[in-house]
Amino acid sequence: MKAAVIYQKGELPQYVDFEEPTAQNEHEILVNVKAVAIKHFDKGRAAGTHYSSDAPKTTGAVIGGDGVCLLEDGTRVYGMGISGTLAEKAIINKQRMVKLPEGLSDSTAAALANAVIGSAMALRFKAIVQQGDVVLINGATGFTGMVAVQIAKHYGASKVIATGRNVQSLQNLLTIGADEIIAVTGDDEQFLQLVKQSQHEKPINVMIDYLWGRTAELLLSSLMGQGSFTNKVRFVSVGSMAGDLIQLSAANLRSVDLQLTGSGLGSWSKQQVGQLFSEILPEMFQLAADHKLKVETIEVKLENIASLWNLNVSNGKRLVVTI
């Protein structure tokens, strides 16, 4: 079979003939792959920079962790890969697949799944978003951030504040659920004052952060109290596009009713992961099929994987490999 294979971590994937995988137990199934989104997660694992990365294999490894697939009877599903999914065939876990609704394209489904995992899991299980909450999405101009804005509103947020660097993408967010936008311009004082002003107008209950780094430091410092009562804020770290480390004042933690947590592989319970496949993904796929959850994709071919691997996709779009 044809596949995108990496032989050394950090190298570009190669389009080569590779041995077809085989199911090892009753929970595994061989499928035909139709579409796979290229995500920061996949690139991080391939480069060895993500905390879940495996040791490199000298024989090469097919990349890609999930995708839209066809079962033997023609049923179209989204599935989590046991083998790499950027290939003509892959092994997926029977317990981690979701049947796709009519009217939802392969590309949209492939792109949407990881973004739902990166947003709905944080909002529902880590932030425990409530009806009427004010939610700030830091780094909302990325693909997952754009999905998070829409899901926050779907989950009942009364106000969604979106931050990001891309001014045009920020403006676009106002058309899909954001109520307020704050540009990350590099002027720390201006950013801090705008967040504090928004917080003063209506207290923020939830912060979902995809950037970490300096903007996370500023957001946390914006919450610092002065010895009086403060509203509880649930701050959830999901990504670290702006850096993996921050400085956090102990006084900052002591002066505010703050819940600081993360959302990612290893942070969810088995029950929550079960709900992801039984409830959350089916609901979000249906919303997208009904055009109530909007995403944009760019379709490319598997044979062009090496030249497209490091392509910079802007304006909140996602690259999807069709097979």
pLDDT at residue 132, as a whole number: 98
Order of strands across the sheet with 159-164? 180-183, 159-164, 134-138, 206-209, 233-237, 258-262
What's the mean pLDDT in 24-45? 88
Place 264 in a pLDDT band, splitting at 50, 70 and 90. Answer: very high
SS3 79: strand
Question: Which homologous superfamily does the CATH classification assign to the domain defined by 2-113+288-322?
Answer: Medium-chain alcohol dehydrogenases, catalytic domain (3.90.180.10)
> Buried (b) or exposed (e) across 148-157, using 16+ Cβ within 10 A?
bbbbbbbbeb
pLDDT digits (tens, 9 = 90+) for 60-80: 899 999 999 999 999 999 999
What's the mean pLDDT in 124-131? 98
- pLDDT of 47 higher than 70: no
Dihedral over Cα of 84, 45, 51, 242: its sign: negative
Structural domain 119-262, CATH architecture? 3-Layer(aba) Sandwich (3.40)
pLDDT digits (tens, 9 = 90+) for 211-244: 999 999 999 999 988 888 889 999 999 999 999 9
pTM to 2 decimal places? 0.92
- The letter for the amino acid at 227 is G
**Domain spans of the chain?**
2-113+288-322, 119-262
Q: Which helix H or strand E contains 303, and what residues bound it?
A: none
What's the mean pLDDT in 197-208? 96
The CB density around residue 307, as the number of other CB atoms within 10 Å, is 11
